[in-house]
Structure 1
Amino acid sequence: GAFALIWWARTQRDRRSLVRGFAMIVGVVAAAWAVDAVSLTHPQIPSKVLGVVAVVAIAGLAAVASARSEGTRRVFAVAAASALVLGSLGFLLIDGVEHRWVSATNQYPNVSVRGSLAAVDVVARAAGARPLVLIVNDGDTDDPATHTNTAYGWAKTYTNVFRTGLPGTSAKYQATYLGSLENFLAGRATSSTSGSIGYDRAAESHYQELQLRERTYPVPPAVFLVREYYGGLCNGVPDCTETSRQQRLEAALAEGVAIGPDVVVIQGPGLWSPPADVVGEANVVANATVEALEHHPGPLANFPHTLLVIAILALLLLVPGGLARRWFGLDSTIDRFALIPGVSVVLVMLAGVGTLAVWRGPLTMTKGWAVVVVAIGIGVALRFADAWLRRPLDAFGRFFDDLFAVFSNRDFSVLMGYQFLAQAGQGVVQGAIFKALVFGGEKGFDISVAPSADYLLKVVLALYIPYTFLSPFVGVFIDRFERRRVAWWADILSAAMVASIVILVVFPLGSGSPEHRTWPTAGLIVGLLVAQSVARIALAIKSAALPDVLSGRDLLQGNGLSQAGGGLAQVFGIGVGTIVAGQIAPWVGVLFGAAVLLAGAMVSRQMRRVEARRHDGSLGQEVRRILRTVVAGVEEVAGRPAAALGLSAFQMLRYQFWGFVLMTFALYAKNLVQGGNADTLSQILSGVGGLVGGALGLIVAQRLKDRVPPIRLLLGSMLLLGAATVVLGGILTVAAFAALLFVGFFSFFLGKISTDTITQQAMPDDFRGRAFALYDIAYNLGFIVPAAILSVIWIEGNAARTREILVASGAIFLILTAFVAAW
C-alpha cells in the first residue's frame, strides 16, 4: 500500500491530493501496526523493523511531495519504493534463515525418504504394467476436540509424495492401501479399532480404488512400504509404548526386501518380487542419492549448468511477457519492471494447461519445451497481430455492451435489483427448508433420514395448490395498489414469517425427518409457500411494470436479462441456502434468506415509474372489488388471441420441462450413480445446465430479437424441447440427462422470454398485473399437474417406466406445439 501511494504521489500536483495521500499512508502504517499487534500474521514484525518501515514510507511520501523538479520527485519515489519492497522481502528472507523455513535441514520429504523414492523409481520401471501399491497407515482415533480423523489427509499427502518417485508412465498403476499390513495381506479393508467413521470411510475408499487397479491390471502387484509413512502402530494396542511401536514397525519392514535405506518391497504369495539385480541397482541409486543430498556441492560447482538454469529462467520470465507488453499496456518503466515477469508466468501457465490438455500423457522434456514455444508464440501473436486479434474482441465487447446497455436506465436497474433479491431470498429460504425436509434439521446431509418419493411429491402438491388459488388476488392487489408499496410490504412480511418458521418449526425439528410428522411438515410447507409467494409477487410486479420502464426493442432485451438474471439469482440462492444449511444449520440458512428479503425491501423503496398511474382507495374498498374484477382479467386475456397464445404456450413449457423432465430427473437421479451422491448429481447437472442453457438462451434472444418475431422464437424453442425429450428421454444415462437439462433450460428461457414479450405487447397497463398473475397460476399448475400424474404412475427405480414417461410426454408436447403453430 505504501509503495502504491508513493508512486501515486509522484504524479500529483495539487496540495489537497498530497494531503489526502499523507492521511492514507498514515492509515496504511496504522493498519499494519494493528494487524501485527494482534498477531493476525505470522511471522510478526519486530517493533524496530516496523518503525523503520513506517519512517521510510512517510519520509518517502514527504520527499516526493516537497520536491520541485520532476527528476527529483522521480528519484525520491524510486528510492523510497525500492527500499520498501527490498526491505520487506529482505526481512522475510532474514527472518526465515534465522528462525524458520530457510534451512538445508528443513526438508519435506527428508533425505531418507528422497533416497527411498529414488529406489522406488528403479523398481517401478522394472515392475512394468502391474499395480504399484503403497501401504500407509495412521492413528484410527478421532481428535477429541474436533471429532475428526486425519488419516485421509496423511494418506493423500504420502501418496502425492510417493508418486514423485514414480516414472510418469507408471502413475496410472499406483494405488494406496490405508491400513495395517496384516489386513492388506489378508485381503480386507482395515477398520478403526475406536469406531472412527472418518478413518473407516477413508480406508474403505482407498481399498475400493486398490481393487479397481487389481481388476484393471490382473497380475501380481508390487507392494511398497516406507518407514516414514507406516504409522498407526498402536491402533487397538493397550498400553502401547515406544518400544512396542518400534518392534511392530521393524516386524512390518521384515516382511519385505530392502531396496533403499527406509523402503522395502513386501514379499508374499500373490505379490511380485523384484529380481536380485534390480534390488542391487535400487540400493546403489538410493545410497548415491542420500550421499549427494547430505554432502551438497559448493555454490560454484557445475557453474555452466547454473548459468544455463539462469538463462532458462530469464527466458521464461522475460520473453513471453516482454513480447506481449504492448497488448497489456505496459508502457512505463515501473509497469514493465513489475508486471512483465508476472505476465510471462501467466502465459507459460496457460500454455502449459492448453498443451497438456491436448497432448496427454506424462510430462517430458519435449513437452516442457513445447510449452515454452507455445508461450512465446502467444507473446508473438499479441505483439504482431494486435489489430487482427482486437477486431473479434471488440465485436464481442460491443455485443455485451449492447446487451447490458439497458442497465444504464436507473429505473430498470432498480426494478431488476428488487426482482433479483426477491428471487435470491426465495432460493436461500427454499434451499435451507428443503434441506430440513430431506436431511433433517441439523448440520450435515444424513441420507438415512431421507423421505420417500411419495412424500416429496405430496409436499410439492401441498406447496403449489394453495398459491394457485391466491395468485389471482395477488394480481388484483398489484393492479389496484401502488406497486412499490406492494413490493415493500411483501418482502417485509415474508421475512417476518420465515423468521417465525425458524422459531416454531426448524428449531424443534432437530435431526429427524419431518415425514410422518404433520405439524413440522405443515410449518415447513408454509415457509416454502411464503418464499414462493414473495418471488411470484416480485415477478408479477416486474412483468407488469417493465413496459412502463422500457419500450420498443429494449423490451425484449429487458425480458431476457430479467429471465436470465432472475434464474441465476434463484439458482445461486438455492445453492447458498443448501450449503449454509448443511454446513451450519437450516435455521441459519432460513434467517439469511430473510435478511436477503429485507435488502430487497430496501431496494424497492427506490423504484420509480413502475406504473402508468397511481391507484387510490382504502383497503376495504379494494378487497370488495377483488371478486368483481378478477374475472375481468381472465376475460381480457381470453379476448386477446396473442395474450391467450402466450399464456397457453407458457403453460405447456412449464408442464413439459419443469414438470415432467425436471421432476422425473430428480426422482430417478439416485439410480444414475453407484455409491455416489444423487443429491450432488442433481445440483451439478441442473445447476450447470441452468446457468449455461439459460445464458445461451439470453444471448440467442438478444441476437435474434430484431430479426425474428417472438412467435417464431417461441415455436422454435417448443420444437427443440419436445424433440430433445423424445430422443434423449429414452437414454437413461448421466450424459443424456445432462444434455436434456441443457436443452431444456435453453428452450424454456428462450420460450419464456418470447411469451412474456407477446403478452406484454398485447395487454394494456391496467390489466398486465392480472395477466401475469394468471402466469403464476400456470407456473403452479406446471408443478401440480405433473406431480399428481407422477404420484400415480411413478414406479421407484424402474427404468422402463421412466423412459415411457419422458418419451410419451415429449411426443404429446410436440403435438401441442403443432396446435400452437396452427393457432
Structure 2
Amino acid sequence: LIVNDGDTDDPATHTNTAYGWAKTYTNVFRTGLPGTSAKYQATYLGSLENFLAGRATSSTSGSIGYDRAAESHYQELQLRERTYPVPPAVFLVREYYGGLCNGVPDCTETSRRQRLEAALAEGVAIGPDVVVIQGPGLWSPPADVVGEANVVANATVEALEHHPGPLANFPHTLLVIAILALLLLVPGGLARRWFGLDSTIDRFALIPGVSVVLVMLAGVGTLAVWRGPLTMTKGWAVVVVAIGIGVALRFADAWLRRPLDAFGRFFDDLFAVFSNRDFSVLMGYQFLAQAGQGVVQGAIFKALVFGGEKGFDISVAPSADYLLKVVLALYIPYTFLSPFVGVFIDRFERRRVAWWADILSAAMVASIVILVVFPLGSGSPEHRTWPTAGLIVGLLVAQSVARIALAIKSAALPDVLSGRDLLQGNGLSQAGGGLAQVFGIGVGTIVAGQIAPWVGVLFGAAVLLAGAMVSRQMRRVEARRHDGSLGQEVRRILRTVVAGVEEVAGRPAAALGLSAFQMLRYQFWGFVLMTFALYAKNLVQGGNADTLSQILSGVGGLVGGALGLIVAQRLKDRVPPIRLLLGSMLLLGAATVVLGGILTVAAFAALLFVGFFSFFLGKISTDTITQQAMPDDFRGRAFALYDIAYNLGFIVPAAILSVIWIEGNAARTREILVASGAIFLILTAFVAAWSRRIRPDLAPQDDLVGDEAAELARSTES
C-alpha cells in the first residue's frame, strides 16, 4: 500500500502526523482481510516516484518525525520483500495519497490535482479511486480479475449510496434480532438465580448486562486459548461458552456456593482478629515502623549501591566484598544493643517505649540527611570512610526502630489477644509486616532513584512519625503496669539482662524456640538468600542481577509467605506449633540440598519460594512457642534475644561467605548451598530429639495455657 502525507512539522507542536495517518490508512486497508494475510502486507510511506526508484522518501522540509516514519516503513517493506521474494501487488488509493505539495514551490490546487492524476495513471483501476500500480517487478492483474474487481467495487458503491430500507431483507433482519436476543437474554437469564435477580424489575434491568459480561468473559477466555484470527466458528464457540457458563451458574448452588462459602469463612476467620481494637492498633504501629524502615533503608541502599545520582547504573555498583563489610558493620553493633532494648520493653510502659523509639529514630534519620546524604551529593560512598559510616548509622537506626517494634509486638501480642490464637496473630503480623517492609523498600528505592536519596530518607522519617502517633493509641500491651523511674531501671539494667537470659535458659520450650529461630535465620536469610544475591548476576545475560534478585525474592516472598499464612490458619487448631516448626525446617533443608546443586533461574526461584514458605511457617511457630513459654515480664527480653539471633543470622553467614566465597564460581556456590542444607537437616534432627525430651513443656495448640492464660483473662475482664 502506497500512502503519503505532508512532510512539514506543525508550527505549534513541532510534530509531524505522517506516522499516524500511515497507521490509520493501513488499518483501514486491512479491514476485511483474513488475519493470516497481515504478514504479507507492508505499507510504503512516501512518494510513488521514490517507491518505484527503490529508495526511502526524505522530508523536503527537514522534518525528523516524517523521516523516521518513512524510514521505518521502508525497512519493514524491505523485510517483506526478502521474506517473500515474489512480485508484489502494489495498491494506491486516491484518499490515502497526500503530500502532493511536498517540495513543490508555489503549489496550487491545479498542480496538486495533476500530480495525483499522474500517480493514478501509473496503474490499472480495480474500482473507484483505487488502482494497482504497473511496472517492472510488480504484479499485474489479469484482465478478467480487473473486470471482476470493478464489478464488485461498483456494486459495493451502489449499495452504500442507495442503501436498502429496514424491510428490504426482512428475514435477515429477524435473524439478526434473534441472534441479539440470544446474546442479551439467554446467558444472563440462565444465571439470574446465582446473581439474585428475583424481581421483575431486576430481571428487566440487569439480565442484558449480565449477558454482555458473560459473553465478554467467554470471548476473552476462548480467544486466549484458541489463538488466531476471529472466524464465524470461533464466534459461535464464544456464544456456546457463554451459555455454558450461564447453565453452570444456574446449578451452581449444588457445586460452587459451598466451596465459595468455605473460602469466605476461612478469610473471615483469618482476619476476624482485626476486630480487636488493641490488636489492630498494635499491628498498625508495627506495620508503619517496618514501612518506615523499608523506605529509609531502600533510599540509603540506593545511595550505597548506585551512588547519589539519579537512576540505577549497575556499572557503578560496588564489589561484593564491600557489600559484605557493610552487612557486618550494620548488624554487629545492634547485636550488643538488643538485650538492653528488651529490658526497656519489660521495665517501662511499652507504649512509651514505642513512642520515643519512633520519635528519636525520625530525628536521627533527619540528621543523617543533613550531615551525610546532602554532602555526598551524586557520588558513591565506596572508598570513603565517613560517608559510608554515616549511611551505616542511618541503616542501623532504621533497623533498630523496626526491631524494637517487632520486639514490642511479640511481647505484647499475648496481652492484646488475651492469650488466644497466637499462631494466627503471629502469622498476620509476619505477613503484614513483610508486605509493609517490601512496599517501603520499593517506595524508598524508587523515590531515591527518580528524585534523590535524601527525599526518600526524609519520607521514611515522616512514616516513622506517623507510627509514633499510632503508638499513642495502644492499650493493654502488658499484663501489669510498670511505674519504676528511669534512674531506678537504668541501675537494674545489667541485672535484668542476666535475669532475662537465665529465664529463657530455664524454660526449655523458650530455649528451643530461640535456637530453632537462629537455625532458620542462618540457613535461609544467611546462606540461601546471601548466596543467591552474590551469584544472581551469573544467572542472567548482561549481569542485570538487581532486577533478577528483586523479581525472584519479591515473588517468592509474596507467594511463599501467603501460602504459609493460609497453612498456619488451617492447621493452627489441629497441629501443635512444634510440629509445624519441624516440618518447615525439614522442608527448607531438603529443598536446599536438592535445588542447591542446580544453579539455574528456575531452581533458585523454586528454592526461594520454598524458603520463604518454610521460614514464614517456622518463624511464627517459634514465636508462638516462646510466647507460650515466657511470662509477660520477661517477653521483651526474650524477643530482644531474638534480635540477637536475627543479627547473627546475617553476621555469621556473611563472615563465613567473605572467607569462602569465590566470585562467579559455580562449583563453590553448589558446595555452599548443599553443605549448608545438609548441616541444617542434621540440626533439624537435633531439634526434633530435643522436642521429644521436653514434650510436657510444649503446648498442644496456639493459645496460652496455665496460670498466665487465667491472669490475662482476668485482666481483660477488668
TM range (shorter): 0.7 to 0.9
Structure 1: how far apart are the matches of 2:52 and 2:379? 41
- The Cα shift of 1:654 comes to 1.1
- The Cα shift of 1:790 comes to 2.5
Per-residue CA shift, 1:654-701, capped at 9, x if unaligned? Answer: 111112222222233333333595433322222222111111111111
2:20 aligned residue: 153
Structure 2: how far apart are the matches of 1:448 and 1:188? 41
- The Cα shift of 1:476 comes to 1.1
Rate the CA distance shift 1:398–1:227 in 2: closer, same or farther, 3 A: farther
Rate the CA distance shift 1:513–1:204 in 2: closer, same or farther, 3 A: farther
Rate the CA distance shift 1:653–1:356 in 2: closer, same or farther, 3 A: farther
Question: TM-score under structure 2 normalisation?
Answer: 0.78
Contact 2:414 2:420 in 1 (8 A): no
Per-residue CA shift, 1:36-62, capped at 9, x if unaligned? Answer: xxxxxxxxxxxxxxxxxxxxxxxxxxx
Structure 2: how far apart are the matches of 1:515 and 1:244? 69
SS in structure 1 of the partner of residue 141 of structure 2: coil
Per-residue CA shift, 1:600-656, capped at 9, x if unaligned? Answer: 212111111101122223323322322222122222222222111111111111111
Q: State how 1:572-651 maps to structure 2 within 5 Å.
A: 572-651=439-518
Rate the CA distance shift 1:286–1:511 in 2: closer, same or farther, 3 A: farther
- The Cα shift of 1:727 comes to 1.6
Contact 1:140 1:196 in 2 (8 A): yes
Rate the CA distance shift 1:698–1:675 in 2: closer, same or farther, 3 A: same
Contact 1:424 1:572 in 2 (8 A): yes
- The Cα shift of 1:247 comes to 15
Rate the CA distance shift 1:264–1:326 in 2: closer, same or farther, 3 A: same
- Structure 2 unaligned blocks of 5 or more: 691-718
Structure 2: how far apart are the matches of 1:452 and 1:147? 46
- The Cα shift of 1:583 comes to 3.9
Contact 2:314 2:544 in 1 (8 A): no
Structure 2: how far apart are the matches of 1:592 and 1:331? 52
Rate the CA distance shift 1:357–1:656 in 2: closer, same or farther, 3 A: farther
Rate the CA distance shift 1:255–1:507 in 2: closer, same or farther, 3 A: farther
Rate the CA distance shift 1:246–1:446 in 2: closer, same or farther, 3 A: farther
- Bigger Cα displacement from structure 2, 400-409 vs 663-672: 663-672
- The Cα shift of 1:207 comes to 13
Rate the CA distance shift 1:184–1:379 in 2: closer, same or farther, 3 A: same
Structure 2: how far apart are the matches of 1:702 and 1:557? 6
Structure 1: how far apart are the matches of 2:331 and 2:100? 58
Contact 2:564 2:613 in 1 (8 A): yes
- The Cα shift of 1:769 comes to 0.5
Structure 1: how far apart are the matches of 2:57 and 2:678? 53
- Bigger Cα displacement from structure 2, 311-320 vs 276-285: 276-285
Contact 1:432 1:581 in 2 (8 A): yes
Q: State how 1:31-430 maps to structure 2 within 5 Å.
A: 167-169=34-36, 304-430=171-297
SS in structure 2 of the partner of residue 136 of structure 1: strand
- The Cα shift of 1:545 comes to 0.6
Rate the CA distance shift 1:213–1:372 in 2: closer, same or farther, 3 A: same
- The Cα shift of 1:721 comes to 0.9
Contact 1:468 1:776 in 2 (8 A): yes
RMSD: 5.6
Q: How many residues align?
A: 690
Structure 1: how far apart are the matches of 2:118 and 2:360? 71
- Bigger Cα displacement from structure 2, 508-517 vs 428-437: 508-517
Per-residue CA shift, 1:294-352, capped at 9, x if unaligned? Answer: 99777766565455444433332333223223322334455444433332233223323
- Bigger Cα displacement from structure 2, 623-632 vs 289-298: 289-298
Moved over 6 A (4+): 134-166, 170-301
SS in structure 2 of the partner of residue 222 of structure 1: coil
- Bigger Cα displacement from structure 2, 379-388 vs 754-763: 379-388
- The Cα shift of 1:172 comes to 8.4
Structure 2: how far apart are the matches of 1:269 and 1:172? 23
- The Cα shift of 1:814 comes to 1.4
- The Cα shift of 1:485 comes to 0.6
Contact 1:260 1:283 in 2 (8 A): yes
- The Cα shift of 1:232 comes to 14
Rate the CA distance shift 1:209–1:659 in 2: closer, same or farther, 3 A: farther
Structure 2: how far apart are the matches of 1:238 and 1:666? 65
Structure 1: how far apart are the matches of 2:391 and 2:129? 60
Structure 1: how far apart are the matches of 2:389 and 2:109? 59
Rate the CA distance shift 1:584–1:273 in 2: closer, same or farther, 3 A: farther
SS in structure 2 of the partner of residue 404 of structure 1: helix
2:700 aligned residue: none
Structure 1: how far apart are the matches of 2:235 and 2:630? 65
1:435 aligned residue: 302
- The Cα shift of 1:475 comes to 0.9
- The Cα shift of 1:153 comes to 10
1:678 aligned residue: 545
Kindly indicate whether structure 1 or structure 2 has the higher relative contact order, using CA contacts under 8 Å at least 6 residues apart: 2
Structure 2: how far apart are the matches of 1:392 and 1:312? 35
Contact 2:334 2:400 in 1 (8 A): yes
1:13 aligned residue: none
Contact 1:495 1:598 in 2 (8 A): yes
Rate the CA distance shift 1:793–1:220 in 2: closer, same or farther, 3 A: farther
Question: TM-score under structure 1 normalisation?
Answer: 0.69
1:696 aligned residue: 563
Contact 1:415 1:542 in 2 (8 A): yes
Structure 1: how far apart are the matches of 2:207 and 2:352? 55
- The Cα shift of 1:449 comes to 2.9
- The Cα shift of 1:539 comes to 0.5
Per-residue CA shift, 1:127-146, capped at 9, x if unaligned? Answer: xxxxxxx9999999999999
- The Cα shift of 1:524 comes to 2.6
- The Cα shift of 1:214 comes to 13
Contact 1:726 1:806 in 2 (8 A): yes
Contact 1:441 1:507 in 2 (8 A): no
Rate the CA distance shift 1:304–1:713 in 2: closer, same or farther, 3 A: same
Structure 2: how far apart are the matches of 1:549 and 1:358? 51
- Bigger Cα displacement from structure 2, 597-606 vs 783-792: 783-792
- The Cα shift of 1:194 comes to 16
- Bigger Cα displacement from structure 2, 515-524 vs 715-724: 515-524
Per-residue CA shift, 1:491-512, capped at 9, x if unaligned? Answer: 1222222233334433444444
- The Cα shift of 1:405 comes to 2.0
1:447 aligned residue: 314
Q: Aligned residues: percent identity? A: 100
Per-residue CA shift, 1:783-811, capped at 9, x if unaligned? Answer: 22222222333333333333332222222
- The Cα shift of 1:258 comes to 12
Rate the CA distance shift 1:361–1:550 in 2: closer, same or farther, 3 A: same
Rate the CA distance shift 1:448–1:819 in 2: closer, same or farther, 3 A: same
Structure 2: how far apart are the matches of 1:624 and 1:704? 45
Rate the CA distance shift 1:410–1:790 in 2: closer, same or farther, 3 A: same
Structure 2: how far apart are the matches of 1:680 and 1:408? 39
Rate the CA distance shift 1:612–1:313 in 2: closer, same or farther, 3 A: same
Contact 1:553 1:706 in 2 (8 A): no
Contact 1:464 1:784 in 2 (8 A): yes
Structure 2: how far apart are the matches of 1:800 and 1:218? 51
- Bigger Cα displacement from structure 2, 203-212 vs 761-770: 203-212
- Bigger Cα displacement from structure 2, 397-406 vs 337-346: 337-346
Rate the CA distance shift 1:515–1:372 in 2: closer, same or farther, 3 A: farther
- The Cα shift of 1:257 comes to 13
- The Cα shift of 1:489 comes to 1.4
- The Cα shift of 1:280 comes to 11
Structure 1: how far apart are the matches of 2:519 and 2:197? 55
Rate the CA distance shift 1:672–1:262 in 2: closer, same or farther, 3 A: farther
SS in structure 2 of the partner of residue 259 of structure 1: strand
Contact 1:449 1:512 in 2 (8 A): no
Structure 1: how far apart are the matches of 2:630 and 2:617? 21
Structure 1: how far apart are the matches of 2:25 and 2:518? 57
Rate the CA distance shift 1:760–1:341 in 2: closer, same or farther, 3 A: same
- Bigger Cα displacement from structure 2, 431-440 vs 287-296: 287-296
Contact 2:303 2:453 in 1 (8 A): yes
Rate the CA distance shift 1:322–1:254 in 2: closer, same or farther, 3 A: same
Rate the CA distance shift 1:419–1:213 in 2: closer, same or farther, 3 A: farther
- The Cα shift of 1:219 comes to 12
- Bigger Cα displacement from structure 2, 317-326 vs 417-426: 317-326
Structure 2: how far apart are the matches of 1:376 and 1:631? 72
- Structure 1 unaligned blocks of 5 or more: 1-133
Contact 2:194 2:252 in 1 (8 A): no
Structure 1: how far apart are the matches of 2:527 and 2:174? 68
